[in-house]
Structure 1
């Protein structure tokens, strides 16, 4: 593999590793928000409108930003009826082939995310709830998550392609 591809793979792996490790802490943020909501409602009889939606947005940020990291760790669900019995080279061949479909899907998803984010920013879109938070921040985070997963899918494609040829990146 050319050095440019090796550098790309290392760089994207490093970015997704850092973003993924940051995203892991968002679960604790969400737990804190829900705990605050529960305590304020139970002990002080002061429910807050913003807590449930903020927890939902935090969870969405968690799984969208963690997608690339999950792909880096090869932690996504796989149908391994035959997969585990195959040689590492055959797995890499199949993964290279299926990565093309994943990349195609992520490109289409990114197109929709950019369009939706643009709409949210341009028209000041707000959620249809009594609190009515702006939707642009979470849509921006979701778009970033899709970009990171797309970049990681391309990096994984190159790693599988190298492994298919009997080399490692």
Structure 2
């Protein structure tokens, strides 16, 4: 039990810190898109802005996703869920989180293969005019998927503890 609680505390703490930092990435995206608009209007358009905004959005989404899972901010069908008891919610959540873990495992496996491919062949590049290397964003995606996988396992362990009748302190500040 102590190891389980330590795992939950460690993963939740790590994803909380990363999520709180990454949430400011919205300002990075706004700055890139603002520069894109200004440069297209007053100067020569920059080749890098659209793709860099996409990379910033992927980073924002992938590294912020685990924090979103932790906070319960993910989308749910609340038609029936809201009326269920805490025990029933934990049962359904444990089942759905199990499938999420399987899905994330396959996603990580494919992501690692794609990242290795990008490194092996002299640095895979985007086919656009700017031609940035793709390995940095692939590494960020693998990191984000790994963090989501760790958070999903943490959520599964919380559901199992709830089903056993254990008290799970909600340590995340809103």
* Superposition TM-score tier, normalisation by shorter sequence: over 0.9
* Cα shift at 1:41: 2.0
Q: Pick from 73, 81, 102: which aligns with 1:75?
A: 73
What is the TM-score of this pair, normalised by structure 2? 0.93
* Cα shift at 1:80: 1.6
Structure 1 gap segments, 5+ residues each: none
Aligned-partner SS, 1:85: coil
What is the TM-score of this pair, normalised by structure 1? 0.96
* Number of equivalences: 167
Match of 1:143 in 2: 142
Higher mean displacement: 129-138 or 14-23: 14-23
Q: Distance in 1 between matches of 2:95 and 2:32?
A: 42
Contact in 2 for aligned 1:159/1:168 (Cα 8 Å): no
* Cα shift at 1:168: 2.4
Match of 1:35 in 2: 34
* Cα shift at 1:25: 1.0
Match of 2:102 in 1: 104
Q: Pick from 82, 85, 88: which aligns with 1:84?
A: 82
Written as runs of structure 1 = structure 2, the 5 A alignment for 1:152-163 is 152-163=151-162
Contact in 2 for aligned 1:107/1:150 (Cα 8 Å): yes
Q: Distance in 2 between matches of 1:112 and 1:152?
A: 19
* Cα shift at 1:53: 0.4
Match of 2:124 in 1: 125
* Cα shift at 1:40: 1.9
Match of 1:55 in 2: 53
C-alpha RMSD of matched pairs (Å): 0.9
Runs of 4+ in structure 1 deviating by more than 2 angstroms, as ranges, are none
Structure 2 gap segments, 5+ residues each: 169-174
Q: Write out per-residue CA displacement over residues 113-164 of structure 1, whole angstroms, 9 at most, x where no aligned residue.
A: 1001111111110001000000000000000000000000000000011111
Q: Distance in 2 between matches of 1:126 and 1:154?
A: 34
Q: Distance in 2 between matches of 1:66 and 1:162?
A: 25
Q: Distance in 2 between matches of 1:107 and 1:96?
A: 16
Q: Distance in 2 between matches of 1:68 and 1:23?
A: 11
* Cα shift at 1:31: 0.5
